[in-house]
Structure 1
């Protein structure tokens, strides 16, 4: 539970997309379709991994867990954002804002840790194939997933606690569509530079740390693949990493733009629009990339859909 705070503010107003009144209906339809597609795509991936024995492998176990973290992350942001787009009541309680920030950071950072774990999984599979079953045992995989979630939860608390122990004495308008750190810190009273700098550095260190570990994994992977004499074998080895690598590039690319942007891009409207990249666009693209770039998963998804829509045809196949 968050600590006691001295504040006269009991609720915040999420300004969100108010600067774009004529586009709000269009935004609502677009973001709703993206959210539903993301939700459906991740649920289908989870269902395919659960039902298909051929996918009972560490790589797909991590992918299933990644889908859970992605669903949890979007659930913390998107329903509220969609509701605000079609309503005139944009207030969120003090504790509601704290909970939203905690869950977005906990699930978002868990997502980063899981992507790092998936990079390690591909490194072991390609660089140490004979030791793969030992290093990536069921117990080891479970430990990696639990560690990722625990780390995400701890980091979420470490970031959220200092923010909501600040004093807020008005105004209470958050110039974003969810409770994000920079616009919220601007509303705090007194000198909050130490808290803002500390949280910013911590977040950047985590992002850089994860991205460097993934980069290190792929450096070893690339070196190993280049030593394979057969072109076809090299292609097959790289194909097992392609979808993960594309998602990593998109995820960290958007994160870099949002969190390391220049002062010239710090207009309030710009912050709101860029926030869409990691709250709606990345979750929308991830299931598509993993599904289209992976033949095993694609075949399993077809079976799941056929089993649901046309079970008699599946029996014939």
Structure 2
């Protein structure tokens, strides 16, 4: 059976609304809730970018059952890994063990704000691996001094250490990230239903670990309205990860997606209120081997109606998978 996560995008709503959406996801019966950790929206029509970790702290107090996770955090540019460890440990305590730390090598859209430049992909992977090692060592509660190729840590220590460190998940997109995830991650995150990625992850140490996939959806009782909204806010998705990860801001996403038409978006992900169509869209993720799928509802103002529909319609239909 595939477990269903509720994906919260900070670029679609303000902080108070995001907390309300997480509360609604718990009430509706979703298995998990995940939140993006961005500093910019991809298009100006999305219109938001509050601080994900403040939202998570508030959500930890407003909910009692649903696990919470970053999807994903980059602990190499905006956040030094020692700071990332402190944030994750605090969230694990606040949530009483319900937190999961999703990590990845980052997108130019979000990491450019600190002015550190955009190193080559192999350098970013090296930085991520070093940061993961620092975070794992910080979770022990012991003093840590570290002087590596990319990071320095001087006599650092976590003074509030959770009984169990939060499980960590690593985003994968190719052989090297699969190798990193296989060695260090407790679960794996991917944005495309590619079975070959999961096979490689299994071969490199990931066998038996949970694997989380993502799917963009757009609920609306009017399918044409759903397609129009998806085109307005998510027409950048057909560009693919390699392109989207390098674009520096909304203007770049606007230019890159200017030729994407509403029919292209309608073909890319399900829209409307036909639960069976949503099930068929999730099916490739299940068949590829994902154990958890996170549908991303497009449109901040349509989250609560989508939750009201998901509880009696979508979640029971997805249970058939």
- TM more than 0.5: no
TM-score (norm 1): 0.26
Answer 1 or 2: higher relative contact order, Cα 8 Å, separation at least 6.
1
TM-score (norm 2): 0.25
* Bigger share in strand: 2
* Bigger share in helix: 1
Which structure is larger by alpha-carbon Rg, 1 or 2?
A: 1
